[in-house]
Chain A
């Protein structure tokens, strides 16, 4: 990876800050359309069924500026979810028991003023709550009590750690992030996370470069052994997630001359079984402003839920309820169907 820029694409006035420019850049690579490949494998159109996971992106504010960030998050971003929208999220959960999980992401979701409200309310409804955590945020003075808060509400922590070694983690996430990540993981372990007692701590591995992740089970063995032996850290599961060719990872692919090669790799690695298990089939993604998307990646490309599906929380609450919807797709979707597949819960196919 190249040295990390210190601010988001948006703050730098980069052309790629515009979703339309990103979509056009992927089209220029010459790879086929996603729907065409789906159809070739008898999988078109891609349709979502019952929504089991409500993934809420509370905003783009983050204390880090990672080189692969699909959100283009950073300290300069100011988009944050309001209380009114957070209340709509909780209302939606109340009305739809099938949505058994609230998955809270960002940015660094802990920095959002509504984060604790969402966790408390969803936990009170008996829902599984996931905090997608960048780890270093837990060390900020303003977050000194967030670990006990998460533990008190039995919230799962899904934490980013692209490598069990410093060089890979720092190359992707910023100088010194690995050391902070270890410190945060030790805090979580000390609070009982990752020890099999019901406080779940999962780790996320993203490749540190323009290639697919390795075998999830094998990487998990390496992580488990190395983190325990060298740092005394334990965790529950490792999720491998493919880097999505949008926002800052797209910038990296362009500047390193890897874009065409990476897109060809994703397409050549298309796995129909992975397509059967993509997360958009059972997720619904909510933006900081209450807009609805088929996934967090579509959200970042401003591709709203469509084909007749409600496009905002307010519209969904006014409707009779979520029904089967056709998923909006693009060439970035090859990121979820390559190799063993990729989702917010890791690999989806063996």
Chain B
């Protein structure tokens, strides 16, 4: 099956989201660009955070874009890999820590 929901060239169509409500798109872009401007964190650090989040939300477009952005801003493969492990650890940890909820319910209902 050649058709997929995710097609690489769709990333370049992102701006089509501004067609019906350009003012919302403009606000989003303005905010987005401000977020990624150099601040207390450098462009490399922000790109790595974005890469980690991209893996957590499993967005293939963001993974593609922020792998490139991380490399472009001076990160290396080891740093990229550690970033993905951080995302994985937090995702996994978030599941595991909810085990306490499970324990609460089980403790209440069980004997």
List residues of A whose CB falls within 8 A of some B CB: 163-165, 167-168, 205, 207-209, 211-215, 217-219, 221-223
Q: Is the CB of B38 within 8 A of A211?
A: no
User: CA of A213 to CA of B69 in the docked complex: distance in angstroms?
Assistant: 10
Q: Does B87 reach chain A (CB closer than 8 Å)?
A: no
State how many angstroms separate the Cβ of B40 from the closest Cβ of chain A.
Answer: 10
Q: Is the CB of A207 within 8 A of B72?
A: yes
Q: Is the CB of B68 within 8 A of A163?
A: no
Q: Is the CB of A222 within 8 A of B44?
A: yes
Instruction: State whether A165 and B78 are in contact (beta carbons under 8 Å apart), knowing that A207-B72, A211-B68 are contacts in the complex.
Output: yes
Q: Is the CB of A214 within 8 A of B76?
A: no
List residues of B whose CB falls within 8 A of some A CB: 38, 42-45, 68-69, 71-74, 76-79
Residues of chain A contacted by B43 (CB below 8 angstroms): 214-215, 218-219
**Majority SS at the chain B contact face:** helix
Q: Is the CB of A215 within 8 A of B73?
A: yes
User: CA of A207 to CA of B44 in the docked complex: distance in angstroms?
Assistant: 13
User: CA of A212 to CA of B69 in the docked complex: distance in angstroms?
Assistant: 10
11 contacts between A and B (CB under 8 A): A164-B74, A205-B74, A207-B72, A209-B71, A211-B68, A211-B72, A214-B72, A215-B43, A219-B43, A222-B74, A223-B74
Instruction: List 15 other contacts, CB 8 Å, given A207-B72, A223-B74.
Output: A163-B76, A165-B79, A167-B76, A168-B74, A168-B76, A208-B76, A212-B72, A214-B43, A214-B69, A214-B74, A215-B73, A219-B42, A221-B38, A222-B42, A222-B44
State how many angstroms separate the Cβ of B38 from the closest Cβ of chain A.
Answer: 5
Residues of chain B contacted by A218 (CB below 8 angstroms): 38, 42-44, 73
Counting from the closest, the 6 A-B pairs by CB-CB distance are A214-B73, A218-B43, A168-B76, A214-B72, A218-B38, A167-B76
User: CA of A211 to CA of B72 in the docked complex: distance in angstroms?
Assistant: 6
**Majority SS at the chain A contact face:** loop
Instruction: State whether A211 and B71 are in contact (beta carbons under 8 Å apart), knowing that A163-B76, A221-B38 are contacts in the complex.
Output: yes
Q: Which of A163, A212, A217 has a CB less than 8 Å from the CB of B74?
A: A163
State how many angstroms separate the Cβ of B14 from the closest Cβ of chain A.
Answer: 16
Residues of chain B contacted by A212 (CB below 8 angstroms): 72
User: CA of A256 to CA of B68 in the docked complex: distance in angstroms?
Assistant: 16
State how many angstroms separate the Cβ of B11 from the closest Cβ of chain A.
Answer: 14
Residues of chain B contacted by A222 (CB below 8 angstroms): 42, 44-45, 73-74
User: CA of A221 to CA of B73 in the docked complex: distance in angstroms?
Assistant: 11
Instruction: State whether A219 and B71 are in contact (beta carbons under 8 Å apart), knowing that A214-B43, A214-B44 are contacts in the complex.
Output: no
State how many angstroms separate the Cβ of B107 from the closest Cβ of chain A.
Answer: 47
Q: Which of B38, B72, B78, B79 has a CB less than 8 Å from the CB of A217?
A: B38
Residues of chain B contacted by A208 (CB below 8 angstroms): 71, 76
Q: Is the CB of A167 within 8 A of B72?
A: no
Q: Is the CB of A219 within 8 A of B76?
A: no
User: CA of A214 to CA of B45 in the docked complex: distance in angstroms?
Assistant: 12
Identify the interface centre among A165, A211, A218: most chain B CB within 10 Å of its CB.
A218
User: CA of A217 to CA of B71 in the docked complex: distance in angstroms?
Assistant: 16
Residues of chain A contacted by B77 (CB below 8 angstroms): 167
Residues of chain A contacted by B72 (CB below 8 angstroms): 207, 211-214
Residues of chain A contacted by B42 (CB below 8 angstroms): 218-219, 221-222
Residues of chain B contacted by A209 (CB below 8 angstroms): 71
Q: Is the CB of A219 within 8 A of B73?
A: yes
Residues of chain B contacted by A168 (CB below 8 angstroms): 74, 76
Chain A residue with the shortest CB-CB distance to B43: A218
State how many angstroms separate the Cβ of A20 from the closest Cβ of chain B.
Answer: 32
